[in-house]
């Protein structure tokens, strides 16, 4: 037990007019539906097509889609419900569950994006050794490391916050449970907790971000010295990855590292990286990828034949 007398927390959500909240609700519901349907379609497509499932890049992509569904489900359903009801409370246990879900999915996605950058680095800079370096056993080992790292980070961050006593105010100026706001409500010395959470987060985010930058810098330098169809295809793939990386890291950096205290702006930035970005990822990876579009076409044909067979 953490000695807290607080059993629930109250979200202030967005101080928008009812019409603005309606538009935000429409955005959240549309994005969340896209998160679930789009990422599920990518996962099913990769898993149903042996050629794609045996490709490390698409195997990593299918796992990224699963993480996007997890990330999108942390706050979007609760936010949509609260916007409809014009009020919001969350239980203590539900709050801790949000903390774990957010930090587990976000940190695992950071690890996975780094692994995907490493995969493209080997494929482009060491193509002759690619199948030896990125073999099936190593692929699953890398995925397991990403999952383990995310679990450890999520558990650590949740335990740090859960052991703090909350015995006074219970109002969070946010639409979901986040560590900075929760620490401010604790009725004890929080210096150690603040330092541990900051260091823990920095040890995850900073090395992954630097490795990403280094990997893509080497990749782009290598591609600049080549010409031809294969180089254009590789550049297109890498540009999709970089777009996803920017959409993921950009809002996170804005929310957690920028000095502005404008809570409404921070909340909208949080909506972007928790709801909008997971919805955009399926579009980014499929619209410019001929292999994915071809596999989806085959999946559609199989599904259509199955429906016709059932009708006969």
* Percent above pLDDT 70 for the chain: 93
For residue 288 the two structure tokens come to: 């410019």
Alpha-helical regions (H) of 163-289: 179-185, 191-224, 229-257, 263-271, 277-287
Q: Which of 108, 118, 106 is nearest to 210 (CA)?
A: 118
- Name the pairing type of β-strands 171-172 and 8-11: parallel
Q: Which of 28-37, 61-70, 119-128, 226-235 has the lowest mean pLDDT?
A: 226-235
- Among residues 10, 8, 15, the alpha carbon closest in space to that of 267 is found at 15
- Helix or strand or coil: residue 310? helix
Say how far apart CA 92 and CA 178 lie, in whole Å: 13
Pair of tokens at residue 99: 């903390």
Rounded to whole angstroms, how far apart are CA atoms 66 and 143? Answer: 12
pLDDT of residue 1: 45
pTM: 0.89
| CA-to-CA dists, residue 261 to 107, 177, 252, 269, angstroms | 24, 17, 15, 13
pLDDT of residue 262: 62
pLDDT band of 4, cuts 50, 70, 90: low
pLDDT at position 243 over 90: no
Looking at per-residue pLDDT, the higher value among 264 and 37 belongs to: 37
pLDDT over threshold 70, residue 141: yes
Q: Which residue would you say has higher pLDDT here, 57 or 190?
A: 57
* Distance from C-alpha of 292 to C-alpha of 287, rounded to nearest angstrom: 9
Q: Does the pLDDT at position 76 exceed 90?
A: yes
Distance in angstroms (rounded) separating the CA atoms of residues 130 and 125: 9
- pLDDT value at residue 293: 83
Domains and CATH numbers, the chain: 8-311 (1.20.1070.10)
Q: 232 pLDDT exceeds 50?
A: yes
């Amino acid at each position: 037990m953490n000695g807290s007398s607080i059993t629930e927390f109250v979200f202030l959500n967005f101080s928008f007019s009812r019409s603005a909240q309606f538009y935000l609700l429409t955005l959240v519901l549309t994005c969340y539906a896209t998160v679930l349907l789009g990422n599920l379609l990518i996962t099913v497509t990769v898993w149903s097509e042996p050629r794609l499932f045996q490709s490390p890049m698409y195997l990593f992509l299918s796992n990224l889609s699963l993480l996007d569904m997890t990330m999108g489900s942390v706050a979007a359903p609760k936010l949509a419900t609260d916007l409809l009801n014009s009020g919001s409370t969350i239980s203590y246990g539900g709050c801790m569950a949000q903390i774990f879900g957010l930090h587990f999915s976000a940190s695992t996605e950071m690890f996975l994006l780094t692994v995907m950058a490493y995969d493209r680095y080997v494929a482009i800079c060491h193509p002759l050794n690619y199948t030896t370096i990125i073999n099936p056993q190593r692929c699953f080992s890398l995925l397991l490391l990403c999952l383990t790292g995310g679990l450890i980070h999520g558990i650590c961050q949740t335990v740090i916050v859960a052991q703090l006593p909350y015995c006074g105010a219970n109002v969070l100026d946010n639409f979901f449970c986040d560590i900075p706001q929760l620490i401010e409500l604790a009725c004890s010395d929080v210096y150690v907790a603040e330092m541990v959470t900051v260091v823990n987060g920095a040890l995850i985010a900073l090395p992954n971000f630097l490795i990403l930058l280094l990997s893509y810098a080497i990749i782009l330098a290598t591609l600049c010295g080549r010409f031809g169809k294969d180089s254009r295809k590789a550049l297109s793939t890498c540009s999709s990855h970089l777009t996803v990386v920017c959409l993921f890291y950009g809002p996170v950096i804005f929310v957690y590292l920028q000095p502005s205290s404008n809570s409404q702006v921070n909340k909208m930035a949080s909506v972007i990286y928790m709801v909008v970005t997971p919805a955009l990822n399926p579009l980014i990876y499929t619209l410019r990828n001929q292999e994915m579009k071809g596999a989806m076409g085959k999946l559609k044909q199989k599904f259509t034949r199955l429906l016709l067979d059932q009708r006969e």
